[in-house]
Amino acid sequence: MKHACKRLLIAFGMLASTAFAADTVTVSNAWVRATAPGQEVGAAYLDMKSASDARLAKVETSAAGSVEIHSMTMKNGVMKMRMLEEMALPAGKTVSLAPGGFHLMLFDLKQPLKAGEKVLFTFIIKDRKGKATTQQVTAPIRAGKD
């Protein structure tokens, strides 16, 4: 009986630590830009804030074949966009994914993204030790630039 209780306490401890790790990242202001019929690429934006140092390692959605984390910068009048393997989430700082900066690119869209609908994302977030947790994020689709 002692061993069963001990194993049960260890299991609850592991579940609690997993839930805590996922809860330390707050996602707000998430939205996806509506697309035109036939458009195969879309973009999503949001704000993320982590209680401790972490990294956004991967993003998935059934709405697209793949999702990439991108940065966008202007240098000498030329806009440069590049894919990031991961995006740092420094402790206590809000990281904004917004038009003209960091953003999520949705490739091989399964259907047009229509204003008023929603997209469900799964975020894979790694803590500073590399332990991964997942977080579900639902983002409304909006028309227009912002």
- Which pLDDT score is estimated for 17? 35
Residue 66 confidence class, pLDDT cut points 50, 70, 90: very high
The structure's pTM equals 0.80
Q: Average pLDDT, whole number, for the chain?
A: 85
Tell me the domains of the chain and their CATH numbers: 2-142 (2.60.40.1890)
How high is the pLDDT of residue 146?
54
- Torsion 131-13-19-93 (CA) sign: negative
Q: Which helix (H) or strand (E) holds 12?
A: helix 2-23
9 in helix, strand or coil?
A: helix
